[in-house]
Amino acid sequence: MSGDGNGNGDGKVERDEAGEAGEPLRLERNAKGQLVAWLGETEEPVDNVRVARCFPWSREGEYVAVCDADGKELVLLTTLEGIEGPTRELIEEELRDKFFVPKILRISDYKAEFDVVSISAETDRGTVTFQIHSRDDVRVLSPGRALFRDVDGNVYEVPDFSSLDRNSQKHIEQYF
C-alpha cells in the first residue's frame, strides 16, 4: 500500500481529533461473518480484520485500532466522531461483544469470607454473582468509576459510584 497524506508508508491511517482522515475507512461483514475493511481508495479489501480498544480504555469512543489477522495495526481511530452508518455500527458491535463488561447498577449482596469477597449484583446484562480476592482486583479509573476483575478474569464496571443506591455504595465504598 502506498503512503497517505499523513506521511505513513506502511498503510496505517490515523484520524485526528476532528475525526477527519487522510483516507476513508469502510467495514462490512463477509459471508463467513468476518470483518472486511476497505482502506482509502484501494479496491482490494483486507479480510478478517479485528477491532480493538487501545489504552486508555476508560475513554470510550476514542483510540480504536483496526488490525489485520496477524494483529498488525492498519488504522488507529483517535475518535469515532465522523464515523457513521454501518461502519460505526460494526465497530461498536465488535467492541461491545469483544469487551463484555457489564455495568453494575446495584449491589444486592456482599459477603467477605476467608479472604474472598462474594458480590451479587444487578447489571445492565442481568444478575451476576462474582468473587474477588483482594483490593488488587479493583482498578479505579477515575473518581467514582472502577473495574472489578473476578477470579475467572471477567470484568464488571461501576460507571458512576454516586448513581448507586446508598446500600450498594456502603458495600463497595472501601474500594474507591
**pLDDT tens sequence across 154-174:** 899 999 999 999 999 999 999
Bridge partners of 106?
122
Query: What's the mean pLDDT in 31-46?
Result: 90
Closest CA to 66 of 82, 56, 80: 80
Task: List pLDDT tens digits, range 112-171.
Answer: 998 899 999 999 999 999 999 988 999 998 899 999 999 988 899 999 999 999 999 999
Please provide the DSSP assignment of 116-169 as one string. EEEEEEEETTEEEEEEE-SGGGEEEEETTEEEEE-TTS-EEEES-GGGS-HHHH
Greater pLDDT, 167 or 20: 167
- Count other C-beta atoms under 10 Å from residue 16's C-beta: 12
Predicted model pTM: 0.54
If you compute the radius of gyration of the chain from its CA atoms, what whole number of angstroms results?
20
CB 87 within 8 A of CB 25: yes
Bridge partners of 156?
148
Dihedral over Cα of 63, 69, 73, 74: its sign: negative
Q: What is the pLDDT of residue 3?
A: 36
Residue 79 has pLDDT above 80, yes or no: yes
Q: What is the pLDDT of residue 58?
A: 67
Closest CA to 110 of 157, 172, 156: 172
CB 146 within 8 A of CB 140: yes
**Grid coordinates 449491589 are at which residue?**
107
Q: What is the pLDDT of residue 5?
A: 36
Greater pLDDT, 22 or 68: 68
Q: What is the pLDDT of residue 83?
A: 92
Residue 65 has pLDDT above 60, yes or no: yes
Q: What is the pLDDT of residue 98?
A: 72
Greater pLDDT, 61 or 122: 122
Characterize the bridge pairing of strands 13-15 and 73-77: parallel
Q: What is the pLDDT of residue 8?
A: 38
Cα–Cα distance, 176 to 174 (Å, whole number): 6
Q: How confident is the model at residue 61 (pLDDT cuts 50, 70, 90)?
A: confident
Q: What is the pLDDT of residue 116?
A: 94
